[in-house]
Amino acid sequence: MRELTPNTIQRVYFIAICGTGMTALAGMLKSQGYDVRGSDQNVYPPMSTFLDELQIPYHIGFDEKHLEPPPDLVIIGNAMSRGNPEVEAALDRKLNYVSLPFALREFFIRGKYSCVVAGTHGKTTTSALLAWVLETSGRDPGFFIGGIPENFGRGYKLGNGNIFISEGDEYDSAFFDKGSKFFHYLPDLVILNNIEFDHADIFRNLDDIETAFKRFINLIPRSGYLIAGWDDPLVRKLSEKAFSRIVTFGLAAEAEWRAQNIMVDAEATRFEVYHKDKLYGGFSTPLFGLHMIKNCLGVIAAGVALGLSKEEIAAGLATFKNVRRRLQLKGEAKGVKIFDDFAHHPTAVHDTIEGLRGRFPNRRLWAVYEPRTASSKRKMFEQDYIQALALADRVILTPLHLPEKVPAAERLSVEKIASALNQMKIQTWILPANTEMLDFLKLHLQRDDIVLFMSNGDFHGIPDQLLTFI
């Protein structure tokens, strides 16, 4: 759709403007001079504040009258489906409509060197870290990331350099395009950390996920790079079919880029990096956990492929401030540290707890977890959650969020998880994310405790409230 240029497109309308990534894309188009507006069912801070600051008009609720006069282009969020009045109007009137990843490709990626960070875990942090390393080295990259990197303060940047970084989501694109978003991103360099089963609402099984990643790898040109996480057996398997150059990283002895001599204290993780068994250099990062070291290794390997020096890469890693809600320290009150993390898959829950445990080995660690996503609410993960949460000293689970969204026979039982943990002498409670949980924590927390909240939701603001009421 090469006609999507400033000469042919002026007015752009977003259906579900507050959907994942949609607000950021609206901001990018607005900064390019397009007349942008949209609608959503619920518009509230921080999205409403962001739209107001950029002077992007929006409607609360959906109505086909919002598409009058007809916009030149309609961008439809992937949460929208048939029956939405604005979707129906766009179809009836034969308006020009596309998905978010399609628009991102045509307006911002095409013509750039496209770096895509993919995998089940670590996409947001790794893409933000790569962007920051390129930024501090003077490359002025553009990026589109599904989180808020603290170094930038927003999840997108246009950039005047020739590199564009995308967080490569395997989730589907729109009701009319059920292929994964990352199929659209014209990858030249891909960092692929790991592949596991996730997104049970759109993938039936691991084979479906494997097929999606196989197709994605097949899009990398022979002149490009697959930066492959060699600790993951499925990544290894799919890498065999790549036509591009392959660069491997991880903790495995066979990886080209490896981390050794890892040292952790309360402020930073320090490690040495070896390239093909030869010492490349020492690095420091304020990130914690073996999964974060792997994220750093992927960025180091990518940085070298992109022509960065060791010193440039090291400076970026050392000054990276993380991403909001990725093991984010919310604050400290009366000696209690409160952390917030987006973890919801059992592997992410395990790695996040392990990272904090390594940072504070002698402090009591509370893990507060809410099963909220389509995958996390399925009983196929029960044993994995038990093993992951067993790394904590105390555990609080919430009841399932919207349990009716998962068939009863497939539904996760938080009661079984709690029972198993209690039998392992790990005190576990099931509490709703409301004043009951807040009051319970206020009563039981002790000085020097660490509290880790994990969910793709916000626990109704309890992490922030806890800092006030401890």
pLDDT tens digits, one per residue of 262-276: 998 878 899 999 999
- pLDDT tens for each residue of 456-469: 888 888 999 999 87
What is the rounded CA–CA span in Å between residue 284 and residue 314?
A: 7
- pLDDT tens for each residue of 350-361: 989 998 898 899
Measured from the Cβ of residue 452, the count of other Cβ atoms closer than 10 Å reads 24
Mean pLDDT of 187-199: 90
- Could you tell me where the DSSP H helices lie in 306-412? 310-319, 346-359, 382-389
- pLDDT tens for each residue of 287-325: 888 889 999 999 999 999 999 999 999 999 999 998 877
- pLDDT tens for each residue of 375-387: 888 888 899 999 9
Confidence (pLDDT) at 140? 98
Residue of 422, 427, 402 lying closest to 412 (CA atoms): 402
Mean pLDDT of 427-434: 96
Q: Does the pLDDT value for residue 201 go beyond 80?
A: no
Confidence (pLDDT) at 1? 44
Quick one: what percent of the chain has pLDDT higher than 70?
98
Strand boundaries in 256-378, DSSP class E:
257-264, 269-275, 278-285, 328-333, 336-341, 365-369
Q: How confident is the prediction for the chain on average, in pLDDT?
A: 92
Q: Does the pLDDT value for residue 328 go beyond 90?
A: no
> For residues 72, 76, 82 and 85, what is the CA-based torsion angle, rounded to 10 degrees?
-60
Judged by average pLDDT, the poorest of 98-107, 368-377, 418-427 is 368-377
What is the rounded CA–CA span in Å between residue 35 and residue 149?
A: 27
- pLDDT tens for each residue of 57-78: 999 999 999 999 999 999 999 9
For residue 6, cis peptide bond before it (omega within 30 degrees of 0): no
Q: Does the pLDDT value for residue 177 go beyond 50?
A: yes
326's CB contacts (< 8 A; 6+ apart) are 124, 125, 147, 341, 342
Q: Does the pLDDT value for residue 445 go beyond 80?
A: yes
Q: Is residue 167 within 8 Å of residue 142, measured between CB atoms? A: no
> For residues 328, 377, 232 and 186, what is the CA-based torsion angle, rounded to 10 degrees?
-80
- pLDDT tens for each residue of 207-217: 899 999 999 99
Residues constituting the chain:
470
237's CB contacts (< 8 A; 6+ apart) are none
Q: Does the pLDDT value for residue 259 go beyond 60?
A: yes
Confidence (pLDDT) at 322? 84
What is the rounded CA–CA span in Å between residue 464 and residue 450?
A: 14
299-313, 361-375, 442-456 — most confident range:
299-313
Mean pLDDT of 25-41: 95
State in Å, rounded, how far the first CA of the chain is from the last one. 56
